[in-house]
Structure 1
Amino acid sequence: MDKITFPIVEVDKNRLRGIDGAISYFFEITPIDLSQLTEKEIEQVFRDVGMFLNTIDENAFFKFYSLGGKAYVNSSVQDFNQLKFELGPSDRPLQTFFGSIDIFSDVSIFDDYLLYNGRYRRVLSVLEFGTDEIDHQFVPNGVDYILNIKRKSREKGIRGLEKIRSSHLANFFRPKRDVESEGAYHQAENLIQELMLGAESLFDIELFFVLTGQSLDELNSKTADLIDGMRSRGVKLFIEGQSIKKCKSGLAAMFRELIPGVVPTLLSRVHVDKTSHLKFLLPLNRSHLMDNGIAFEDNAGEQIFFDPFNASIPNKNMLVTGASGGGKSVFVNKLIFQLAKKHPTVILDKGGSFKRITLYHDGVNISAKFNPLQFRDPLYLREMVLSACDKEHFNKLERGRLLKSIRAIVEENPGPSNFFDFLKLLECDFPGISLYFEDVAEYLSDEKIAETPILYVDVADYPQAAIAPLIIFILEYFKNIKNPEKILVFDESWSFLKHHADYIDDCFRTFRKTGALPIAISQGLNDFAGIGGKLYSSITNNSFIKVFFPQECIDDPEVSEFDRKQIKSLRFQKGVCSECYVKSADNRFRKTMRLYLSPLELELFHTEVGEDNNFYKFYQEYRPFFDSNKETINSYVRLKYGEV
C-alpha cells in the first residue's frame, strides 16, 4: 500500500491553486441529449465542437470529466465562448471528483486499485485506439472518465507529420509495394493539408477511465466488462498499478494528475489525436428529459425524469395515443400515482382502468348520480341543457335565446333549488324542454360533491343518454377546483361530445391558460376523425405534449420522419415493460421513455379483465381490519409479491 501527497493547496469557489502554484478553474458543462436530435442536428453540434477545439489556446490545458452522469472541465483558462454548451462555475471541484465532503488526502494505493471514502476505485488508461472512425456513442454510457488535452501549434503539428511522410517516402521506390506504408504517407499528406486550411488541429491527449465499486469483487467485474466492451471498439486498455510483481508502477502519480487543479504532464499515456476524432471523446452527451420529476428509464436503461408540471412547459395539455393494450392507461396511472398527492385529479374513465388507483388514494367514485345544478354558470348550464336536446332545434339564434333565459333564472334570488325546478322555470320560454331529461332523471340528484383528491367517473356505469350531460358536469367541476395545478384525465369518451366542440375548445383553452393538466387518451388520432374537425383540432392543437405508444398509423402533420422512426422502434413486453415516445410542440422534447412497474404499481395499474377479482375480494373482506385503503392494498400486494 502507498499513499499520495495531496497536490491542491487552495480552493476558492471554482478557482484552484496547486502545490506548484498553477491556477486553474473548474466548470460544470450541461451536455445535450443527442438522442433527441436528428442526424443533421447532431452533425451541426459536432461541427461547433470542432470549431471550438480548433481555436483553443495552445498554451492552455483542458481536463474534461464525466463523473456520475455529469460533465465538467478544468482548465487554465476561463473563456469558453466558442463551446456552444451551457456552462457555469462549479464551486466544489474536489467534492465532485472524490464524491464526498470528507477529507480527501487519505487515499490508499494498492497493487492495482485505490481505496478512499470507503469505496474501491481503479484507473484504466487507453494504450491504443482503433483505426475505425468513431461517433458520439464511442464512450460507453455510465462510465466515469477523464480526458486530458492540449492543442499543438500548427507548425509543430505539421513538422511531426512531415517526419511521418518522409519516413514512408522511400518505400515508393522499392521493388515490392508496401500498401500500408503508402496509406500512412497519404494520410499524413492529407492531414497536413487540413492543418494548413484550419479544418483540423492536432492534440496531445490522455484518456483514463475510473471505475468504482462497493467491493473488490464488484470492481473486478466492472473492470472485465469495460475491457471487453472497449476491445470491441478496437481500444486496448491498461490497468494502472503499483506492483513490482506485476511490473506496474506509477498509479500514485497517475491518479494525482487526474485530480482537478493538477496540470497534466501528458507524458505517460499520451496520444496524438486530431479534431475530427477528439470531438467525439468530449463528455457532451447525456440522456436527459427534465432535471426532476417522476422516474422513468430511457431505452438504454438510464434513469430519466418527467414532470408534466415543469415550469418550462408553457402549455400543460397532453395527448396520449396508442393501440389498445400498449400501455397508455398504465403510463397515465403512473403519473396520477405520483402527482395526486399535490394535484387534485378528476378522471373520466371508460372501462375501469383508473378505479383501483382512485380507491388507493381515497377518491370519490360517482357511480350513481350527479347534481347538474351544483354549478350555476349560464354557459355551462346552456351546454348541460343542449347535451340532452335535439341539436337541430337549436340554431345560433335559439342558443342565444336559451342563454338569455338561463341567465334570468340563475340571477333570481333565491334561484331554483334543484335541476328539475330549473327546467320547470325554463319551460316558460321553451315548452317541453324538461322532457329531454326524463330518460336520465334517476341519475340526477340534489347533493353536491365536495372537493376530493380524486374524483372518479366510469362512463360505463351510466346509460348512453346520461354520458354527455355527465361529462359536461365533470368538466365544470374540474374548472371550479381552486388549485390551478390540477389534473383531468379524459379516457376515450370523445364520441359523446361531437356536438359540443365549441364548449370543449373553450374548456381546453381555459385549462391551457390556467396551468391545469388535461390528459386526453385515445387509441389514435384517427379516433377523432368521425367527431368533427373542430373537436379534433381542439384536442390536438391544444396539446403541447404528445405521448405516443406503439400504433400503426399516425395522421398528424406535426409528426416528422424522425418522430415516426422513434415511434416505430418502441418496444412492448407484456408484464415487463413498455415504451412511449414523448414529443413537445416545439420539439424541445423528443424522447423515448421506458416504464417498469413496482409490484404495487402493477397491481394498481393493470387492466386485464378478471385479474382484479382476488384484489377486490381481499379488499372487501379485510378492509375493516385496516386504518386506510392504502394499508389494506399494501398488505394485499405484500402477501402476493413479498414486497410493495
Structure 2
Amino acid sequence: MSTVKKFTNLGDHLPIWHFDENLMVYNDGSLGGGLKINGLDISTATHEVVNQFCQQITNLLNSMEEGLRLQLFYRLSSNVSDLIESHAKEMLETDEAYRPLVDARINFLKKNEEAGNFYSPEIVLFLRGRPQNIKRDSLFKPNEHFSQMIEDEYGEHRDQFLRAFEQVKDHLDGLGLVPSLLDKDEWHGLIFEYFNLERLEKVGLPKLRDANSDLAPSLLEQSLLSDVIIHSDCLQVGSYYFRFINLGLLPDRTVASMADELTKMPFHYWISQSVEIKAQAQEKDKLQLQRRLAYSMVAGSKNVSDLESESKLSNLEGLLQELIGGNEKILTMGMTIILWDKEKKNLQRKIDQVLRELKTLNQAEGICETITSFETFIHSWPGSCEAFRSKKLKSSNASHLMPFFSYWRGNTRPVCIFPNRDFVPFAIDPFAPELPNWNGLVIGGSGAGKSFTLCQLMLQFFTQKPTPKIVFVDNGKSSENFVASCGGEFIDVSIDSNVCLNPFDLGANETKPSTLKVKSILASLELMFRDEGQESLPKREKALLEACIYELYSKVKGKTPTLSDLKQQLLSHQVDALKQYGEILFSWTGETAYGKLLDGQSNIKLNKNITAIEVKGLDDFPDLKDVFMLLITNFVQREAEKDLACPYILICDEAHRLFKTASTRDYILYCYRVFRKYNCSIFCITQNHKDFLSIPEVADAIFPNTTHVFILRQRKIDWSDFQKTFDFNEAELNAIKSLRIVKREFSEIFYMQDEKRAILKIIPDELSYWICTSDGSDKAKIHEMEKKYPDLGKLHVLQKIAFGEDYPSEYQE
C-alpha cells in the first residue's frame, strides 16, 4: 500500500511571483524570459555541420555572464490541433462535391491525434538572471525615498537582464534557430500544463487574468488548480502518475549532438535541462588547488611512476589553459526527463526505455527518483532554471548534452499534411510564395509508388480555394480513379480517338507567336524531321524554319495555321533541305495516323479542374508520342496564361521523353524557368535519374529551377552516380537507401525543398487509398463494386469500399 503525504499549499515550494509584461519576476527578485526556438534538423546533416553547431552553442555558454541560469525545456506532446485546424481552414471553401474527400482526411488526422499517434516537439529556452539585492541606506530615511530607490534599482536591474536576454536571442538567431519571444500567456500555458495536465486535457486552459485588477488572483493561484499526491515511488496529479529520471552519471565522453537520441523516444514526455554559469575565478582557484595536490603526488614519487596522478595533473593543466584562454567555462548542469501515464505498468516501460537510452550515451546513467520525486518536480517546471541533481562540467560537454534538435516542419501554410518518419506532422505548400519556383521532380523505381505519392499530394492540394487546375500526362491510367473521383475528365489518346492538338495554337488575344511558342514549334518539328540517331537539326536550317514559322502566321489570316499549311510553304521553299522537310510532313498531315492527331484545329479543352491525358495508346508510335507530350506542355502553359489567378500543375509521366533532342531540352528547360510567372508548375516523373539528369546541361538547368524533389525507394541503381548527380552526403544517401514501403499502410519518401530535407511517410486515409491506388488487384475490386452499384458515381463506390457497403445512401447520385 502506498504512503500518501499531503501539502496544504504547493505554491509555498515555488519561487513564482508575477509577470512584468512578458518577463517573470521571481521571489528572490531575479528576472526570467523565454524564447521559443526551432530546433536544428540534423537527420541528414554532415558531421561538420553538427560539430560547428555544437561549437556555436559552446560559444553561447562561454559568452554568458556569471550567475545567469539557463533552462532548455523540450516538450514532446501529441497536440497538433492547431495545425489540423489550419489545414481544415485551407479547405473550408472547397466545392460541396469534394467535401467527402476533405471530411475523410480531417477525420483521419483527428483520430490519429486523439490516439496519440502524432508527435509535436517544442523547444523553449528560459533565461533567469541574478537575484536583485536591494539594501536600505539608513533606517531613518523616509519610505518615499526608499520606494523611489527600489523603483530605480529595479529599472536598472531589468535593463541589465534584458541586455543579456537580447544577447542570447541574437546568438540563437545567428544559428538559424529563429527564436521568438514567449509571451506571458504562452508561459502561463506551459506552467499550467505542467501542474494540471489532466485538467488541461479535460477542461482546457483558463485565461490568464490581469494581476493589476482588483481582487485578482495571483499567478500561483491561477497556475495551481490540481492536487499533487505524493506516493512512495511517484507523484499523482489527477489520474496521471508521474515519474522523474535525473541524469545520475555523466557519459564517459561526450560527442556533438548526442542528446538528439533523447528526442526520438516513441512516447510523449518532457525534458528539463538547467545550466548555471559558475563564478569562474572561484572555479579556477579550486582547480589550481587540485593541480598543486596532483603535482605534489607526482613530484613526491621518487623512482615510482604514479600514472593516475600524472594523468590527473595533465588533465587539470589542460583544463586550466582552456579556462584561461576563454575556450571553456565551468558550469553546473542538471537534466530531468519527466514521464507520465495513467497505468503504472506502461509508465514502468517508459522508464526502462529512458534508462536504456541514457546508457547508450557513452554509459551515462539515469536515476529514477522515488522519495525525492516531489523535490525534482518543483525544480523542473518551465522557467524554473533550477536543477535538483546538478553536475559540474565544461561548457563544451554541456553543449553536447543539450537537446537543441528537432525537425524541419515544412511550409507555413499547411495545404498538404504528411507525417515524417517519426510521425511529426509536416506541411507542404506546392505554391508557397516564399519559394523561388514551384516545379517538381519525382524519381522512383517501378512499383515505388510515384503515381500514388503524387495523387496523395494532389488530392489535398486540389481541395483548396481557388480550386487548382491539374493536368496529368499519364502512361498507364494510374490517375484514372483520382480523376473520376474528383469529377475530372480522362482523355484516352490514340490514333483513332478523334483527338487533335494543333502545334500552332496561340494564346488568348495573341496574333503572332511568342518566343516560347516558337520554341515549342521548333522543338516539335525537330522531333519530326531529325534522322534516327541525329541529336538536332543544323543551325542554319533551324534558323530558316524559324523564319518560315513567323512568315506562316503572317500569311494565314482568319484562322490558326496547321501542319498542312507549313507543308505547302516548305515544299515551295527555295532551299532544298526545307523542301525535304516538307516531304517528311506528308506522314504528319492529312488523314494519316499522325495527321489525325496533329493536323487540324485543336479540340482538347480544360473544362474540368482535373484532366488526365492518357498517352499509353501511342506506344507503338514513339515519334508521335514524343511530339504530343511536348505539345501538351505548351498547351497547359497557354491555358494557365488565360487565368493567372488559378494555380496550374502539369504532371508528366515518362518525362525523359521530353529531353530527347537539343530543342526539346531547350524548350522544357525554358518552361522550368518561366512557368512561375504564369502561376504554373511542372512535375516530371521518371524511374531512373539517368533518364535525363545524366546530361550535365540538363541537370545544371533543372536543379536550380526545381523546388520540390520527391525521391522514392530505389533499387538496383548505380549509387555512386546517384550520389554524385544529386551531390548527396553520406547521411542523405543512407536515408534514401533506408526508405521503406508497406503495402496498404505507408510508403516513405525523401523530400527536398531547396536546401532542406525530410523523410516523409505517405499514410493514406481509408478513402484516399482507394482514390489514389493503381494496383491491379485494387482496380479489379473497384470494377466489381461498380458492377454491383451501377447507379453510383466513382467516389461513392470508393466510399463503400473504404467504409463498408452500409455507407449512407444519401450520397447516392
TM-score in terms of structure 2 length: 0.69
In the alignment, structure 1 residue 15 sits paired with structure 2 residue 154: no
Aligned partner of 1:49: which letter?
I
The equivalent of 1:376 in structure 2 is 506
Residue in 1 that maps onto 2:452: 330
Q: Distance in 2 between matches of 1:533 and 1:162?
A: 62
Q: How far apart, in 2, do the equivalents of 1:221 and 1:529 lie?
A: 49
CA distance 1:434–1:473, shift in 2 (3 Å): same
CA distance in 2, matches of 1:311, 1:212: 41
> Structure 1 residues 513 and 252 mapped into 2: Cα distance closer, same or farther (>3 Å)?
same
1:83-125 Cα shifts (integer Å, max 9, x gaps) = 4332221112121344352353124323244455875443322
* Separation in 2, partners of 1:563, 1:269: 36
- The corresponding residue for 2:796 is 631
1:287 and 1:304 in contact (8 A); partners too: no
Q: CA offsets, 1:14-50, max 9 Å, x none? A: 3112244432111112222122432112221111111
* Aligned equivalent of 1:131: 252
Partner residue, 2:613 = 457
Specify the code of the residue in structure 1 equivalent to 2:488: G
Structure 2: distance between partners of 1:568 and 1:548:
8
Please say if residues 61 and 148 of structure 1, whose CA atoms lie closer than 8 Å, have aligned partners that are also in contact.
yes
Write out aligned runs for 1:277-426 (5 A).
Answer: 277-291=397-411, 293=414, 294-300=416-422, 302-342=424-464, 343-367=468-492, 368-372=497-501, 375-377=505-507, 378=513, 379=517, 382=521, 386=525, 389-391=528-530, 395-409=542-556, 412-413=557-558, 415=559, 422=562
> Structure 2 matches for 1:93-172, cutoff 5 A?
93-99=187-193, 100=200, 101-102=205-206, 103-110=222-229, 111=231, 112-116=233-237, 119-138=240-259, 139-142=261-264, 143-165=269-291, 172=298
User: Any stretches of 5+ residues in structure 1 without a counterpart?
Assistant: 242-247
Per the alignment, residue 92 of structure 2 pairs with none
Query: Structure 2: how far apart are the matches of 1:341 and 1:126?
Result: 49
Change (3 A) 1:225 1:607: same
Relative distance call for 1:118 and 1:355 in structure 2 (3 A) is farther
Tell me how far apart the structure 2 counterparts of residues 547 and 523 of structure 1 sit (CA, whole Å).
12
The residue that corresponds to 1:474 in the other structure is 632
SS in 2 for 1:547: strand
What is the aligned-residue RMSD (CA, Å)?
3.5
Gap change, CA 1:229 and 1:38, over 3 Å in 2: closer
Alignment partner, residue 60 of structure 1: 68
Partner of 1:245: none
Matches within 5 A, 1:512-523: 512-523=676-687
Is the 1:146–1:209 contact (alpha carbons within 8 Å) kept by the matching residues of 2?
yes
1:588-603 mapped onto 2 (5 Å cutoff): 588-603=755-770
Q: Which of residues 399, 416, 436 is equivalent to 2:588?
A: 436
Report the CA distance between 1:567 and its aligned residue.
5.5
Structure 2 residue ranges without an equivalent (≥5): 77-120, 130-160, 194-199, 207-221, 508-512, 531-536, 572-581, 808-813
1:583 deviates by 3.5
- Could you tell me which of 769, 784, 804 is aligned with 1:617? 784
**1:539 CA drift (Å):** 4.2
- How far apart are 1:589 and its partner, in Å? 1.0
Q: Deviations over 1:147-202 (max 9, x none)?
A: 11111122222233344445555655579977556544443332222212222111
- Structure-2 separation of matches of 1:215 and 1:312: 46
Structure 1 stretch displaced more, 51-60 or 630-639:
630-639
Secondary structure at the aligned position of 2:243 is classed as strand
**Aligned pair in 2 of structure 1 residues 190, 501: CA closer, same or farther (>3 Å)?**
closer
C-alpha deviation, 1:366, in angstroms? 0.8
Q: Deviations over 1:284-336 (max 9, x none)?
A: 11121415544444445544444333333212222222332333333323222
Match of 1:190 in 2: 318
Letter of the 2:16 partner, please give it.
I
Query: Residues of 2 paired with 1:207 and 1:536: CA distance?
Result: 48
Once the two structures are superposed, what CA deviation does each residue of 1:431-480 show, in whole Å capped at 9, x if it has no partner? 57575232135557764524322110121033525424432442234221
Question: Given the alignment of the two structures, is residue 205 of structure 1 paired with residue 333 of structure 2, yes or no?
Answer: yes
In 2, the alpha carbon distance for the partners of 1:286 and 1:596 equals: 22
Give the counterpart letter for 1:106 in structure 2: L
Identity of aligned residues (%): 17
Aligned partners of 1:620, 1:217: CA distance in 2, in Å? 51
Alpha-carbon distance in structure 2 between the residues aligned to 1:387 and 1:97? 70
Q: CA deviation at 1:606?
A: 4.2
TM-score in terms of structure 1 length: 0.85
Native 8 Å contact 2:418 2:760 kept in 1: yes
Please tell me whether the aligned partners of residues 106 and 116 of structure 1 are also in contact (alpha carbons under 8 angstroms): no
The answer to whether the Cα contact below 8 Å between 2:409 and 2:427 also exists between their aligned partners in 1 is yes
Equivalences, count: 621
Higher relative helix content: 2
- Contact kept? 1:151, 1:203, Cα under 8 Å: yes
Q: Paired residue for 1:239, among 360, 365, 368?
A: 368
Match of 2:81 in 1: none
Judging changes above 3 Å, is the alpha-carbon distance between structure 1 residues 538 and 436 closer, same or farther for their aligned structure 2 residues? farther
Compute the displacement of 1:534 (Å).
Answer: 6.3
1:424 Cα offset (Å): 5.6
Name the structure 2 match of 1:485.
647
**Cα separation, 2, equivalents of 1:583 and 1:307:** 13
State the 1:502 CA deviation.
3.4
Cα deviation 1:253-306 (Å, max 9, x = unaligned): 432332345463x5x412111112100222311121415544444445544444
Superposed CA deviations along residues 575-633 of structure 1, whole A, max 9, x for unmatched, are 25443333355xx21333344444444444444445421222323432514xx432221
Distance in 2 (alpha carbons) for counterparts of 1:529 and 1:263: 53
CA contact (8 A) 1:545 1:583 kept: yes
CA distance in 2, matches of 1:187, 1:522: 58
Selected match of 2:6 from 2, 7, 12:
2
**Is residue 2:362 matched to residue 1:230?**
no
User: In 1, distance between residues paired with 2:19 and 2:693?
Assistant: 64
Looking at structure 1, the residues matched to 679 and 191 of structure 2 have their Cα atoms a distance apart, in angstroms, of: 40
1:565 pairs, out of 710, 717, 733, with: 733
